[in-house]
Amino acid sequence: MSAAPTPTESGVLRPSSGKALLIDGKRGSEEVLTEIAEKVRGLAGQGLKPGLAVILVGADPASQVYVGAKGKAAKAVGFHSVQHDLPATASEAEIIALIRQLNADPAIHGILLQLPLPGGADATRIIESIAPEKDVDGLHPINSGLLAIGNLSRALVPCTPAGSMILLEKAAAALGVKLEGAEAVVVGRSNLVGKPIAQLLLGRNATVTIAHSRTRDLPAVVGRADVLIAAVGRPEMIRGDWIKPGAIVIDVGINRISVPSHDPAAPAKTRLVGDVAFAECLDRAAAITPVPGGVGPMTIAMLMSNTLKAAIQIAGLKAAH
Ligand SMILES: NC(=O)C1=CN([C@@H]2O[C@H](COP(=O)(O)OP(=O)(O)OC[C@H]3O[C@@H](n4cnc5c(N)ncnc54)[C@H](OP(=O)(O)O)[C@@H]3O)[C@@H](O)[C@H]2O)C=CC1
Ligand SMILES: Nc1nc(=O)c2c([nH]1)NC[C@@H]1CN(c3ccc(C(=O)N[C@@H](CCC(=O)O)C(=O)O)cc3)C=[N+]21
């Protein structure tokens, strides 16, 4: 039996020799949230209370859980937090009308539309109706543009990519390796995850490859990666023997799979797995994020971080006028 991992100062778990370091996203998120709560207490003295509005269209159970977690975290750090539930039948015009109201509401600094929309409806025009300075998901073209030109001080960067980078930086620091010049492979090219992570890696001077469903010989491309980011949405698709020995693996995937039960009378059980076959990677990777407890909790922490940033930037803009 292997020894239990020992926590280190940095929130990276150092397991028994020959095994990958586990990068602890739960701990990383707690660090970020503690810092935010402190800043919120400071802002209260200046009469500023950051406000977050989350919009949920329809009643997808997974989305309800995520939206609930976001509201809870917002209250815990001292934000004003509101949730707007719209029926699955809400029209694009109705959702945009709500967003216009929130754009004009001085108590709200961050607006998040939970995705995907019911029935896979296109969210492009709705996202574009969000005031860019309140777009805490970082999906408005103004924010993707600011990220693409490297203006990170002004951009609101999508939460999952921003959280993934914090865990990656922690792993690199714990291992004493540099991101500059490293071969980074991102599997997945969505606007929410893959593309913005690739931009952030480029900003850190990594050599970036973006792989997707049309990529030829994915195992060979993955095998080049010193840094691998998996954002595919396919349970354990990336196998241990694809991984370059010594790589840092950030597993963004959140996939709920059913676990076969030996007792046919027992209710079906499910568990969360990533896009990477975690157990197979432990002997090859130098560091890896677990699922759950990796990127997921960081996403919520970075949403709070973006809302705080938005509140400060909006207050600054008002003061300048
Ligand atoms: N931890 C967190 O907080 C979050 C986790 N997630 C999780 O991250 C994962 C990705 O999410 P998201 O980006 O929104 O998903 P999307 O479905 O929008 O994108 C998936 C990407 O994976 C690519 N892909 C699909 N199949 C393959 C394949 N067989 N080989 C190579 N590439 C493939 C697709 O390629 P193509 O473009 O060619 O179709 C696409 O670019 C999901 O598991 C999701 O649940 C998402 C958001 C937050
Ligand atoms: N506009 C928009 N922005 C998003 O950021 C967004 C979205 N839509 N739609 C769905 C995805 C998914 N997502 C997660 C957030 C937290 C966890 C999380 O905290 N996961 C825990 C486990 C939670 C559980 O047990 O179910 C963990 O990984 O440890 C997971 C996934 C944000 N997303």
Known catalytic residue at 70: yes
Q: Which of 70, 170, 244, 309 is catalytic?
A: 70
pTM for this entry: 0.94
The pLDDT, as a whole number, for residue 5 is 61
Distance CA 32, CA 85 (A): 28
Residue 226 has pLDDT above 90, yes or no: yes
**Pocket flag, ligand 2, residue 315 (CB < 6 Å):** no
CATH 3.40.50.10860 residue ranges of the chain are 49-137
110-132: burial string, b at 16+ Cβ within 10 Å, e else:
bbbbbeebeeeeebeebbebbbb
Residue 79 has pLDDT above 70, yes or no: yes
Give yes or no for a cis peptide into 292 (omega within 30° of 0): yes
Rounded distance from Cα 299 to ligand 2 centre (Å): 7
Known catalytic residue at 137: yes
pLDDT tens digits for range 254-266: 999 999 888 878 8
Rounded distance from Cα 300 to ligand 2 centre (Å): 7
The answer to whether the CB of 111 falls within 8 A of the CB of 55 is yes
- Mean of pLDDT values over 268-285: 95
Which is the closest atom of ligand 1 to the Cα of 299? 3
Percent of the chain scoring above 70 in pLDDT:
93
Residue type, 105: D
Distance CA 53, CA 64 (A): 14
Distance CA 136, CA 116 (A): 16
The pLDDT, as a whole number, for residue 10 is 58
Residue identifier of the C-alpha nearest atom 33 of ligand 1: 213
The answer to whether the CB of 163 falls within 8 A of the CB of 301 is yes
**Pocket flag, ligand 2, residue 292 (CB < 6 Å):** yes
Phi, psi of 227, rounded to the nearest 5 degrees: -125, 120
Residue 13 has pLDDT above 90, yes or no: no
The pLDDT, as a whole number, for residue 262 is 82
CATH 3.40.50.720 residue ranges of the chain are 159-296
pLDDT tens digits for range 19-36: 999 999 999 999 999 999
Q: Is 51 annotated as a binding residue?
A: no
Q: Is 190 annotated as a binding residue?
A: yes
Q: Is 189 annotated as a binding residue?
A: yes
The pLDDT, as a whole number, for residue 48 is 96
The pLDDT, as a whole number, for residue 263 is 82
The pLDDT, as a whole number, for residue 317 is 67
Q: Is 154 annotated as a binding residue?
A: no
**Pocket flag, ligand 1, residue 214 (CB < 6 Å):** yes
Which is the closest atom of ligand 2 to the Cα of 26? 29
**Pocket flag, ligand 1, residue 163 (CB < 6 Å):** no
Ligand that comes closest to the CA of residue 185: 1
Percent of the chain scoring above 90 in pLDDT:
89
Element (H or E) spanning 173, and its range? helix 159-175
**Pocket flag, ligand 1, residue 234 (CB < 6 Å):** yes
- Mean of pLDDT values over 98-113: 98
Average pLDDT score over the chain? 94
The percent helix, strand, coil of the chain (3-state, each to 5) is 40, 20, 40
Quick one: 49-137 is in which CATH superfamily? Answer: Leucine Dehydrogenase, chain A, domain 1 (3.40.50.10860)
Q: What tokens appear for 133 in the block?
A: 């300075």
**Pocket flag, ligand 1, residue 25 (CB < 6 Å):** no
Residue 3 has pLDDT above 50, yes or no: no
Distance CA 39, CA 46 (A): 11
Task: Give the pairing type, strands 183-187 and 227-230.
Answer: parallel
- Mean of pLDDT values over 170-177: 97
Q: Which of 19, 24, 114, 251 is catalytic?
A: 114
**Pocket flag, ligand 1, residue 295 (CB < 6 Å):** yes
The pLDDT, as a whole number, for residue 194 is 98
The pLDDT, as a whole number, for residue 266 is 82
CATH tag, 159-296: 3.40.50.720
